Amino acid sequence: MTTTHPGATERTPVVPLPAGAARAATAVGALATAASTLLAWTWTPEFPGNLTISGYPGGLQVLTLTASLLTLLMTAASYHLPGLRWLLPTGSDNAVALLAAGTFATTWYTLVAISAELGGIVNLEPGGYAAGAASLLTLLAALGLPLDRRTRESLRVKVVPPSRDGGSGHAAALPSRLTYPGRLAAFLAARAYLAVSPRLSFTKRPLKAPAHLPAWGEILVVIAAYAAALGIFTYGIDTSYAELFAGFLLTAVFGVIALAQAGVLARLSAITAHQRPIAVAAAFAAAAAFPFTQSDDQYATIGVNILVFATVALGLNVVVGLAGLLDLGYVAFLGVGAYAAALVSGSPSSRFSSIHFPFWAAVLTGAAAAMVFGVLIGAPTLRLRGDYLAIVTLGFGEIFRIAVLNMDGSSGPQLTGGPNGIHDIPDLKILGFDFGQPHQLGGLSLGRFANYYLLMLLFTVFVVTVFSRASNSRIGRAWIAIREDETAALAMGINGFRLKLLAFALGAGLAGLAGTVQAHVTFTVVPEQYQFAGPVPPNSAFLLAAVVLGGMGTISGPLIGASLLYLIPAKFQFLQNYQLLGFGVALVLLMRFRPEGLIPNRRQQLEYHDDTLPGDTGGPTAATPEKDVVGLTQAGA
């Protein structure tokens, strides 16, 4: 048995197979899985998606087909086939194994879901069994590939096969009274455990030198990547039943991790950084194209809600991610913006129903009102640090909601309509364009929510611009300095209080901005929309979670975090009662395994994963320090 050092990586299979056979079996298994989706998996169309038609994959079968074809493609790339080199720049077989695992998970999830919903595995057609067997074969074969794994030295014990004449495999560990079959079983168990115990290693392998792409080639790659992202995102939003969304999540999660392991994502981000203006334009175009992919307004609603949520989360990222101020009452600023816009919208239930501001004026009113509230709340509270600030902002957030609830004319002055809120907020009309009416554009119909989606997108772009420009400036650096070490920042001539107040006010203003659109999208504003925690995002807890989950201090992090946090509860309606439980479990797991969030900030990635720094090459470096220590002590003695 070779000696390995703790934290070293090794390239061993989980299932002991010759590498060549494993690779071939993976390819065959993936092909067989793909073929099995052409068969009927169940006999009745009662299971959503209709998996009964042979030769025409439907619903979850499409996901299995996609995953298995991806596996096949990646396996082909691992054969170094010409033309597929771009798919596997790291050359790591982990990517193949992860895709095979994704195929397996999606397929078996489908089979289990069919059996559970229709009452027993009897409901599976032979095609279903074939799919299950083929995907299992693919996974086992892929686990026989030489995978990059992190060794756990402490678990390595010398395991020797036992012999019949009484010599035990491991004398110290196995009591001698065990009979031969017992010892054999213990040996096999130990071997199996040793094979499985090293974790898949996610340390970065160096990328192979990329083929030089001309500029137009890079642009095409960027456009294709964003088009693919739009396609995947649209598919996810449009999933019409929970099973399909669950399958989609499984496939997508495994697929993304596999692509990261393959090095495709790193390559892609390098190209994106190289073609920055094109990439930004392509991202905007992809986002703007979303409503045009929708045949009806049902899913555009989700789109506009995600955008509102994501925009507010990005505003919170100024406060939390840049300046490091933990604000637990942030949703109040969204509420201030929404109420301000509703009051001047000309709604008949508004206190000032005669006032009807044009939209630009309403936006300015909402943002200004939120900013004023931000300064009013920030001025006294920002003298506190850390946990105390979090508690006080939590309190102010609730004070806002309860105050609005009571300003109904009986408990307090009539301003907000109390629990009824302000309703019948009229639709926007900008330059004669009525947002409430569907419009035809180039043969495609844009419904009410699609209109608002496009409007909200402009606001999101504005907030993204503000965030990126502010963070990369003298002010942004001062915020980060305050977050890192406030005392040192003061000693560097930074007026800590003023800059914290500025961050608070800017964050509040951006939330107020989003609130003005939200008021018009939802027709009504009521206090219950602006809670600390509730089932429907945005609320303060979910906003903070979106920022932390996505990645603090980044732009794409909160956008992705907000999308996930909105979509998952919206699609899994049946989980309603357990939603917050699942949310808590997910947060705990995330903080355990990826404390820097899904999209790590360049800085935080270095902070939390020091062991992956260049120079940590495992074996040799682990040995040298010891040697040096010995040398030193000898010299000292």
Residues of this chain that interact with another protein (CB under 8 A) are 465-466, 469-470, 473-478, 480-481, 484-485, 487-496, 502, 506, 603-604, 606-607, 613
**Which residue do the tokens 């397929």 mark?**
107
| Nearest distance from C-beta of residue 377 to another protein, angstroms | 19
| Nearest distance from C-beta of residue 481 to another protein, angstroms | 5
State the sign of the Cα–Cα–Cα–Cα dihedral 97, 98, 101, 103: negative
Nearest CB to another protein, comparing residues 405 and 508: 508
Query: Biggest alpha carbon distance in the chain?
Result: 100
Nearest CB to another protein, comparing residues 132 and 507: 507
Nearest to 513 by CA among 340, 383, 353, 257: 340
Nearest to 338 by CA among 547, 190, 474, 516: 516
| Nearest distance from C-beta of residue 466 to another protein, angstroms | 6
Nearest CB to another protein, comparing residues 273 and 613: 613
Nearest to 318 by CA among 360, 371, 357: 371
* Cα–Cα distance for residue pair 359/324, rounded to 1 Å: 33
Nearest CB to another protein, comparing residues 162 and 496: 496
C-alpha to C-alpha distances, 261 to 64, 332, 418, nearest whole angstrom: 21, 41, 53
Nearest CB to another protein, comparing residues 400 and 467: 467
Nearest CB to another protein, comparing residues 443 and 615: 615
Nearest CB to another protein, comparing residues 240 and 472: 472
* Cα–Cα distance for residue pair 107/135, rounded to 1 Å: 7
The set of residues, in sequence order, having a beta carbon less than 8 Å from that of 27 and lying 6+ positions away, is 72, 75, 76
* Cα–Cα distance for residue pair 538/329, rounded to 1 Å: 12
* Cα–Cα distance for residue pair 348/420, rounded to 1 Å: 13
| Nearest distance from C-beta of residue 383 to another protein, angstroms | 13
Nearest CB to another protein, comparing residues 500 and 520: 500
Nearest CB to another protein, comparing residues 260 and 466: 466
Nearest CB to another protein, comparing residues 408 and 596: 596
| Nearest distance from C-beta of residue 480 to another protein, angstroms | 6
| Nearest distance from C-beta of residue 478 to another protein, angstroms | 6
Q: How many CB atoms lie within 10 A of CB 170?
A: 15
| Nearest distance from C-beta of residue 600 to another protein, angstroms | 12
The set of residues, in sequence order, having a beta carbon less than 8 Å from that of 456 and lying 6+ positions away, is 304, 307, 308, 311, 514, 517, 521
| Nearest distance from C-beta of residue 443 to another protein, angstroms | 39
Nearest CB to another protein, comparing residues 198 and 324: 324
Nearest to 34 by CA among 142, 145, 127, 144: 127
| Nearest distance from C-beta of residue 509 to another protein, angstroms | 11
* Cα–Cα distance for residue pair 542/583, rounded to 1 Å: 9
**DSSP code string of 27-87:** HHHHHHHHHHTTS--BS-TTSTT----TTS--THHHHHHHHHHHHHHHHHHHTT-TT-GGG
> How is residue 215 written in tokens?
């500029």
* Cα–Cα distance for residue pair 471/150, rounded to 1 Å: 37
| Nearest distance from C-beta of residue 63 to another protein, angstroms | 40
Nearest CB to another protein, comparing residues 303 and 496: 496
* Cα–Cα distance for residue pair 78/24, rounded to 1 Å: 11
| Nearest distance from C-beta of residue 483 to another protein, angstroms | 9
| Nearest distance from C-beta of residue 278 to another protein, angstroms | 20
The set of residues, in sequence order, having a beta carbon less than 8 Å from that of 358 and lying 6+ positions away, is none
The set of residues, in sequence order, having a beta carbon less than 8 Å from that of 238 and lying 6+ positions away, is 294, 299
**Which residue do the tokens 């495999």 mark?**
169
